[in-house]
Chains A and B, each alone.
Chain A
Amino acid sequence: MNTEITGVVFTYGLTLLLAIPLGKYIAKVFKGEKTWSDFMSPMERLFYKIAGINPNEEMNWKQHLKALLTINAVWLIYAFFVLLFQDKLPLNPDGNAAQTPDLAFNTAISFLVNCNLQHYSGETGATYFTQLFVITFLQFVSAATGIAALIVLFKALKDKTTTKLGNFWVIFTKTNTRLLLPLCIVMAIILAFNGTPASYAAKDNIVTLQGDSVGVSRGPAAGMIAIKHIGTNGGGWFGVNSAHPLENPNYVTYITEMVAQVIIPIAMIFALGFFIQRKRFAYVIFGVMTVGMLILLIPTMQAEIAGSPAIAKLGVVQPTGAMEGKEVRFGPAATGYWNIVTTIISTGSINSMHDSAMPQSGLMMLLGMMVNCFYGGCGVGILNYFIFIIIAVFISGLMVGRTPEFMGHKVEAREVKIAAIIALLHPFLILVGTALSSYVLSHNLGADWAVKPGNWLNNPGYHGFSEMLYEYTSSAANNGSGFEGLGDNNIFWNVSTGFVLLLGRFLPIIGPVAIAGLLANKKYIPESAGTLRTDTVTFGLMTFAVIAILTALSFFPSLALGPIAEYFSMY
């Protein structure tokens, strides 16, 4: 094995090694057992006191969702107005302008839903104030929102019959103080010591060795880069995200950022097993997700290492693989691994330009976001997977002719309806969005937008179609990466993706929490010989089949028009 492959294997191995104890820790924190982080509890109690929260008040699933949606609404309004007036606020040493209303709308929603579409560039489109007070802040609390919703589901699965699912404010606050903040402090310090800027110094202007005058953007970036990965948000300080040499300076930071973005999603799977005391159930989920990841990862790494056939035709050699849009310090193997991880877990940070990846890689990245539950984002990954579990339980029940059951509760029409709606929502948002933009583009409405429809695409043909498909897939999956050639900072894209982001975030949180809450409310039926067991390899395969079939049926035609057609035109 060469050092690039060993680098990837080591990074994944290290992730697992850290994720298992972290999963145990998470389960302990939310069970209320003693942990090392209990020194935080005076601070938490102070927060509850200031906010007028009674931490002992138990909530049912509806109250949880009300609290969750209310605080999210507050953040949306706050973020929108701060972005709109960022030029008039302090901490703007580079004198950057305000965001236009449609851009502020898109940016506020994007970070609210733990996504990072970023139709602006960090160097010029945001100020230090908004990077910290809007973006960094939302990167913490939006991740905590997703995790808190998942903990509600954990609690619902744990007890036989209950309506009391803990207190939302407490779960949410503890996620911030016990999980996200400590991990981020460690990571930000690692980044700062590897060269990532962390001070409030303004942009520098220098004369290069050869005599050119250039600027060098800086700022308190290390803290934001830590939470963007720990919280699987992905929003970069600089325009090119973690491809930027200050945002991701070397292989040590590569490993750190790579481990950081996937550690909570994986740890949450193990936490589930520890929390509800069904470890086998968690291992089966982990197994299915890992197989899914490998199916996407291997062809991607292979394609990127092999290099571009179009470049090979020109006669140059590609000892370091397909290098357009990539950085030398990472190389094609580590970049391929990043491409897949960032798309399956909805981080959306990038260490290369996805637009320039090989068509197979583009296909795999799109699939990662279309499935959106191989590990998945902070909290929401397992919520998405839960929907597929319910559908798999339902179909298995039909196959053996018994009323479907899950964890000792009957799964009835209401739950299956919710699951079906949520499962269909994702393809609906992606396909309708792409169809709409294709219509506007092909009829070239001559609209006088900041970027006219005729200038949207950075690449012709199949690849241009992929740019639009990718943008809506990324929005619906709350991912945030993009085929960034797309000219997306105009009212059409800012508004349409804004709505897709909102629907793609909150409905897939409400649905699974509602199902879990409804199930927990039902009478407990003890396991019998006829019970369909959900912690077996067979059921794992069943879930995988449900995911594969639903994804293929929903998305094959659109993928055939984009990356698949491009593949056959090149190879």
Chain B
Amino acid sequence: MSDEPAAAADGETGSSFADTVGIWMPRGDELRVMTATAVVLAVFPFVFSRMPVVSDLLQGYQSLATLILIWGIFALGFDLLLGYTGLLSFGHAAFWGGAAYAAGVFSQHVSGSPILMVLAGTVFAVLLAWFLGFLSLRRGGIYFAILTLAFAQMMFYMSSSPLAFITGGENGFTGVETAELFGLFPLESELPLVLETLLGTWLYAFVAVIALLCVALGYRILHSPYGMVFRAIRENEQRAEFVGLNVWRYRLMSFIISGFFAGVAGSLFVIHGTYVPLSSLYWTTSGEVVIMTVLGGTGSLFGPVVGAGVYLYVENIVSGGHPFEFVAPFWHLILGLVFVVTIWVFPRGIWGFFRDVRDYVTGGED
């Protein structure tokens, strides 16, 4: 743990320009994490879909690389709620799908600028999370899970028929009109020079930059007093209370933060697909993000992203008959097996397993 959080907690005095800039610049552990993330994001599409031999083995493709990042952002935010604050929401489709619809409708009626679409979708998701969190967090445990599920299903129902004149009902929202990035670069066009080999399209570059910002934000939150309070609440709610913390308020904050990430991801999802399927509000979407998060490993920044990658890989590649043709019809079964075996053998998820291995090798403890 770096000494940065301590500085943040005590740093009420310094407010000069240099300090303000200093706060925004990553240092120490944070700088290392951010650099590593940037490098991985920069080479991922190349390794996954274009590198000789490796990409033949993986059978990856550009669009899936983008999709993995988008779901990765969703799962990362979800883990802030599940893995750190200890709340299992079963209704995060509401924020993902809600943001997707909001961004889509926004693009049709106001502006198709990708940046503004993300902004619009995220604002919608945050306000919705505020409202639904306020209502759902009245109860804990299973009641909370069921309440969030119920609210998300209400949204699904609303957009499937009463609001079909806006949302397109069963057909999904088809009127997405995405404009060029900064008014210059069509998202599906290829990047110049070496960037084309590495990153591929402008769309990937756009998503990757946002993903990097999301990782930075997640890192900051987890290493701020908020992150500490979230972990304390997860460990023992009562103890947190008599230390003087308003548990309810911190839980709501955590819920809104995860709604924020879901909103960013949902907006990117509609930009990526230029279409909002009705199923983006369906409870299976809420279930998928739970599975991704647990599969990758709760209580870590990157575990959920890895989980999202594995999940989407099985869903898109293995289901297409790679590497074995005959398993294609059974890809759900394969996914189930991967999940069960992972949880059985590595209760802390894929990422947790790698951390345990590292700790074993270095003899250290994180």
- Verify that A and B bind, or say they do not: no
Chain B interfacial positions (CB closer than 8 Å to A)? none
